């Protein structure tokens, strides 16, 4: 997306460092090492290029942002998976609520949307769609509580609200990035669906928000 928007970044270095950061977080070790190495390595790459101008700072900062935005935030799914004996159920909990929220927001907005939510950022999103999406998230949390996760009804509802709201902010945040870079899709691997990032942008926010809420509830 950054390249398509006409800005510079070290794409392959970012991908490799992002993968290493995700692995380090999942394993719970060498996290600070990978973060420090990422900044150092990116500047070393620039030094070997021998070019201090030509948006040198933006190349490094854009790459670091990509690592943090995608790899670091998404790595919370792995942290949730490792958070206890019910880690697998918690993963499905977050996925179900997020996807229920996304789906109901889309169809709710399409069928009942009349008031624009953030027209300067995402013209198609509506207040009605956001409200229906939040209701869908809460409903998804209750389904999960009754179906496969041993969690109190109040905690389920609160988690549904937190995941639903943060997921919508995650969706809007990717819209900000795409609008700023003036790109329509985040990639072409999934034709007609805006790219892989469009499928997980809500999770980038909802996963860390749920993890810290769950840590607060369980005391871990």
Domain end marker among 18, 41, 74:
74
Tell me if 95 is assigned to some domain.
yes
Domain end marker among 42, 74, 106:
74
The predicted pLDDT at position 168 comes to 95
Tell me if 212 is assigned to some domain.
yes
Tokens found for residue 193:
């669906």
Alpha carbon distance 163, 185 (integer Å): 24
User: Which of 121-138 are b and which e, b meaning 16 or more Cβ less than 10 Å from the residue's Cβ?
Assistant: bbeebbebbbbbbbbbbb
The predicted pLDDT at position 188 comes to 63
Q: Tens of pLDDT along 189-205? A: 665 556 778 888 999 99
Same domain, 92 and 165: yes
Q: Tens of pLDDT along 6-47? A: 888 999 999 999 999 999 998 888 999 999 999 999 999 888
Instruction: Note down the domain range covering 217.
Output: 86-220
How many CA within 13 A on the CB side of residue 90?
Answer: 25
Q: What does the pLDDT average to over 58-65?
A: 92
Tokens found for residue 118:
């953030």
Same domain, 219 and 185: yes
The predicted pLDDT at position 52 comes to 66
């Amino acid at each position: 997306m950054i390249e398509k928007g006409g800005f510079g970044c070290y794409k392959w270095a970012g991908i490799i460092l992002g993968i290493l950061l995700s692995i380090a977080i999942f394993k719970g070790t060498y996290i600070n090492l990978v973060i420090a190495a990422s900044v150092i390595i990116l500047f070393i790459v620039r030094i070997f290029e021998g070019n201090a101008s030509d948006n040198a700072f933006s190349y490094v900062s854009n790459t670091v942002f990509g690592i943090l935005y995608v790899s670091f935030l998404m790595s919370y799914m792995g942290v949730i998976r490792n958070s206890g004996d019910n880690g697998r159920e918690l993963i499905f909990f977050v996925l179900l609520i997020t996807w229920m929220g996304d789906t109901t927001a889309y169809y709710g907005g399409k069928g009942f949307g009349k008031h624009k939510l953030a027209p300067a950022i995402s013209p198609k999103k509506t207040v009605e769609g956001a409200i229906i999406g939040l209701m869908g998230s809460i409903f998804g949390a209750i389904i999960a509580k009754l179906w496969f996760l041993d969690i109190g009804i109040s905690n389920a509802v609160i988690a549904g609200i937190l995941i639903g709201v943060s997921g919508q902010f995650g969706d809007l945040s990717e819209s900000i990035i795409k609008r700023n870079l003036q790109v329509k899709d985040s990639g072409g691997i999934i034709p007609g669906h805006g790219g892989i990032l469009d499928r997980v942008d809500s999770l980038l926010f909802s996963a860390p928000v749920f993890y810290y809420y769950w840590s607060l509830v369980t005391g871990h």
